[in-house]
């Protein structure tokens, strides 16, 4: 399970970093938060950035909120941490 904070309607799309205060990954998407477009964009960004097939990602809560929980299947917690390391490092 991965907690994600979404920034819809952003100029750039991608993983922005880790929000330590909220304890979640920040993801910016160009899509607006209408009719599931931003949700689909979040899954696309995570799939592309983390090199995980999109069919292994599913939003399990927060479909209408900026705060979401994404279930990642067939990836161990250690494997996920390795994939997220570049985004968790201090800038």
CA distance 32 to 6: 11
Measure the CA angle with vertex 29, ends 2 and 33; round to 5°.
95
Query: For residue 1, what are the contacts with CB-CB under 8 A and spacing of at least 6?
Result: 60, 69, 70, 71, 72
- Domain range for 21: 2-88
Q: Any idea what the CATH number is for the domain that residue 33 is in?
A: 3.30.1200.10
Task: Give the Å distances, CA to CA, from 61 to 8, 64, 91.
Answer: 17, 9, 30
Render pLDDT for 59-87 as a digit per residue (tens, 0 to 9): 999 999 999 999 999 999 899 989 999 88
Task: Give the Å distances, CA to CA, from 91 to 18, 43, 50, 86.
Answer: 10, 25, 19, 10
In the prediction, which pLDDT does 20 show? Answer: 87
Specify the number of domains making up the chain: 1
pTM: 0.90
Cβ-contact 66, 6 below 8 angstroms: yes
């Amino acid at each position: 399970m991965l907690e994600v904070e979404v920034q819809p309607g952003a100029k750039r799309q991608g993983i922005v970093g880790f929000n330590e205060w909220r304890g979640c990954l920040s993801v910016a998407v160009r899509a607006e938060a209408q009719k599931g477009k931003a949700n689909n964009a979040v899954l696309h960004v995570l799939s592309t950035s983390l090199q995980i097939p999109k069919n292994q990602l599913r939003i399990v809560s927060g479909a209408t909120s900026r705060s979401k929980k994404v279930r990642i299947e067939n990836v161990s917690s250690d494997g996920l941490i390795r994939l997220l390391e570049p985004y968790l490092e201090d800038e």
